[in-house]
Amino acid sequence: MVMIFQSDRVRKFLLEKGYVYTVRRRRHIEFGRDWATDRRGGRKIADISVTKFDVIPRQGLLKCLEPLVPDSGFNTVTEWVEEIRRRLHTRKVDKFYVYRVDVVK
């Protein structure tokens, strides 16, 4: 199952650093080897390995993400949470899934 990285900041961090922590509103079904793209129906931009990191309740998002900011592609937890809210339409989400994604060479 493909993992889509629409956020330019997150995608750029992943490709430059070789890893990134990412937040999803749904559980990624498969762990281990996978591939990444920048949009639905897009071409493969990297082979990746997906590792489950944590499940975070909506109310604990800021506190739980703060230590991961340096590995997210964002400068502050506030920037990251704003992007999450904008892209993931969080009004109906009770919990978030955090994954570590590594580029497989």
pLDDT at 44: 97
Q: How far apart are CA 42 and CA 67, in angstroms?
A: 31
Closest CA to 102 of 17, 26, 8: 17
pLDDT in tens, 33-83: 999 999 999 999 999 999 988 999 988 889 999 999 999 999 999 999 999
pLDDT at 52: 87
Complete edge-to-edge strand list for the sheet that includes strand 19-24:
3-4, 32-37, 46-57, 95-103, 19-24
Whether 29 shows a pLDDT value over 80: the answer reads no
Question: Which domains does the chain possess?
Answer: 3-103 (2.30.130)
Whether 89 shows a pLDDT value over 80: the answer reads no
Strands 19-24 and 95-103: antiparallel
Averaged pLDDT of the chain: 91
Mean pLDDT, residues 13-25 taken together: 96
Amino acid at 92: K
pLDDT at 31: 82
